[in-house]
Chain A
Amino acid sequence: METTQFVLPNVWMGVGVVIALFAIFYYVGWVAAKKTTSEEDLYAAGFSIGPVTNGLGMGATWASLATFMGVIALIYKLQVPFVYLWIQWALSIPLLTLLYGTCLRRMKAFTPASFIKVRYGNQAAMVIIAWMCLSMIMYALGQMIGLGLAFEVLFGLPYKYALIIVGIATVGFITLGGMYGASYNAAFQMLVMTIALVVPMGAVMKAMGSSGWWFPPLAYGDMVPQMLEQIPTFFDMKYDYRWYFALIPAFTMGPIALPHLAMRVFTSSSVKNARWSVVWFILFLGLLFSGCYTAGFAGNYFTATTGNEIAKPDQTILILNVFYNPTLVAAFVIGGAVAAGMSTIGGNLMAIAGLIGSDLLGILAPKMEGRKKLRWGYLALGIGGIITILLAFNPPAFLVTSILWAFGLLATTTTPSILLGVWWKQANRMAMIITSVVCGLIYIIISPHVLSGIVVGKGLVAALGMSEAMLTVPLSFASFIVLSLIFNKMQIAAPSMEDKQMIDRIHGWGSDYDEKRYNGTIMPLIIVAVCVIIFIWGLQPW
């Protein structure tokens, strides 16, 4: 079997497409910079983004280089189970919006940590800011390394020079435009990446002999029989049932707490528009994701029918386009990959800036005047970007091993704090801090990335954080609830009347306070019982 590597026949076409895209990103950033005069503008685009633009922006922020390249590689290697893993990512923003997004939009929070600060106090906020910054750096680092590698291939430059060029160019337009620029650029980037992924796949499918080329995301069914002849196991539901269930604690619960996704909800022009943004998000993301599955399928089909093995599965989409499409189309697909990486870095850096420049600074220097805070915000945005570039030169192995692993960490440390904080008046500050720190450390310790001698689960399941999350996510919810009940009984850090009134207010009750609302104990205890069952299940050998 021959191995195929990606080589763009005409490099200058690729360079031209990338330069044209950067020109547009900078123009949008420059226009947006003129609109940014306050913290609300910098971190939340003045709470003014409409549903369609925001839906596109949500899709772009969520869909990263991993969607464009990584998942296709995983489908190429591991086939259908990874399609299932990817499908459930679409739940992130609908669940986030339903469970707390609209509540926090009502209080005009910039990040979820802004809520944690008000609900649980400064110490708790610092714990959550630390976890969120770690996850955002892991996320942005993965994207930055991916972009550096893409530019290395495209320009034929050594990785370090490619990284400096793409890194500074990317951080520049994001810092220039703030959240206004990030929002409008993300909407544009979503259009670019969707067109670049889906449309050329139609031509690839036509060349492969499929009659469904007119709608690549769903019309490649006629290629299935030939695929099954070559790879009979492609559609097999490998792994046991627990693997599929573990997707919920590891990968559904984690993204709920991703600050860069939450910030997209907060930029909405109203609470109601935030909900309509979710509808557009699902429409656009579904199209993009389904295009990914098609590309993953086509990569396998390509190998099975032509005998060409793809040397670097990350490059599947690029190789298919170089192999079957004209150079200009292949160059545009590179543009799509670049857009995918940039939109996510934009979201990550905005989140880091919000967490450091607004939330952390609000704790350390609460009386700082608005204009000065704005300058610090820009500084945090730029410094966050430079740190990401510097880390990408020689990345610590544990930071890039798996971005997906960080989702389980967030599900353990942060999701319970936000959800119980919003929906349960008895959620206790001390219980939150202890649970977040202890369960987060347990998650890190039992994963294979730090202490390889103490691991729960094995292989990919452990590397992705699935076996760890099956233990620490239910442990975190259960211990938070139980400790809250105990501490409240002992009058340790019990929620104040102000905390409780805030909960009613963010749910839309205004000044109509009712002590009984969101204050039960039966439902939390049922959750504890369910968590104990999942925890015991997770303890069984993988």
Chain B
Amino acid sequence: MKEKLYKKELFTTVLFIVILLIFGHSAQFFKLFPSAQGGSMWGFPIHYIIPILLGWFGLLVLTIIMAKVLNKLDDEMEQYIESIESGEGSQKNV
């Protein structure tokens, strides 16, 4: 259980770092692949509006997911710690 929780903590942290960086620096994609700069959206060049949208609404959705996933992970860790402590307590009682 604790090994699983530990790996989950590391995995979610690395995953969220990577996605945060991608959303906050999405302009790099258009620099790396200039052919992607062609289109337009809502009247703006796509390489202008997409980084703005990802830097606002993309991050907004991501931080909501982060809050839910990481708060749930906290709950699982708390449950695990409580189960250990109650186990230790019952052993002492025995």
Contact = CB atoms under 8 A, between A and B. Distances in A.
Contact of B24 (A87, A225, A241): A87
Interface in B47-87: 47-49, 51-53, 55-57, 59-60, 62-64, 66-67, 70-71, 74, 77-78, 80-81, 84-85
Given A91-B24, A252-B21, A278-B63, A512 B42 contact: no
Interface string B14-34: 001100110111011011101
A282 B59 contact: yes
Contacts of B49: 218, 221
Contacts of B81: 508-512
Contact of B67 (A83, A235, A252, A275): A275
Contacts of B66: 94, 98, 275, 278
A278 B34 CA distance: 33
Interface stretch (A15-23, A286-294, A405-413): A286-294
A507 B71 contact: no
Main DSSP-derived SS at the A contact region: helix
Interface residues of A, number: 49
Interface residues of B, number: 47
Interface string A503-542: 0000111111010010000000000000000000000000
A237 interface: yes
Contacts of B63: 94, 275, 278-279, 282
Contacts of B43: 220-225
Contacts of A293: 52
A308 B20 CA distance: 40
Contacts of B27: 84, 87, 237, 244
Contact of A517 (B6, B23, B31, B71): B6
A212 B44 CA distance: 13
B2 interface: yes
Contacts of B28: 241, 244-245
Given A87-B51, A99-B13, A241 B59 contact: no
Contacts, number: 131
Contacts of A90: 24, 55-56, 59
A372 interface: no
Interface in A173-223: 218-223
A450 interface: no
A252 B57 CA distance: 19
A154 B55 CA distance: 34
B55 A80 contact: no
A237 B30 contact: yes
A367 interface: no
Given A90-B59, A219-B42, A289-B56, A279 B67 contact: yes
Contacts of A272: 67, 71, 74
Nearest to A287: B56
B17 A99 contact: yes
Contact of A95 (B20, B52, B67, B71): B20
A222 B62 CA distance: 30
A84 to B, nearest CB: 4
A95 B23 CA distance: 12
A224 B44 contact: yes
Contacts of A247: 25
A511 B47 CA distance: 50
Which one of B17, B49, B63 has the highest number of Cβ atoms from chain A below 10 Å of its Cβ?
B63
Contacts of A244: 25, 27-28, 31
Nearest to B16: A98
Contacts of B2: 509, 512, 514
Given A286-B60, A512-B84, A80 B21 contact: no
A89 to B, nearest CB: 8
B13 to A, nearest CB: 6
Contact of A275 (B17, B44, B57, B71): B71
Given A221-B44, A244-B27, A517-B6, A508 B56 contact: no
Contacts of B53: 218
Contacts of B20: 91, 94-95, 98
A68 to B, nearest CB: 18
Contacts of A102: 70
Interface string B30-41: 111010010000
Given A252-B21, A282-B60, A293-B52, 8 more contacts: A87-B27, A225-B43, A235-B45, A245-B28, A272-B67, A279-B64, A286-B59, A517-B6
25 contacts: A84-B25, A91-B20, A221-B44, A222-B43, A224-B45, A235-B45, A235-B48, A237-B31, A244-B27, A245-B28, A252-B21, A272-B74, A275-B71, A279-B63, A282-B59, A286-B60, A289-B55, A290-B56, A507-B9, A508-B77, A509-B81, A510-B85, A511-B85, A512-B81, A514-B2
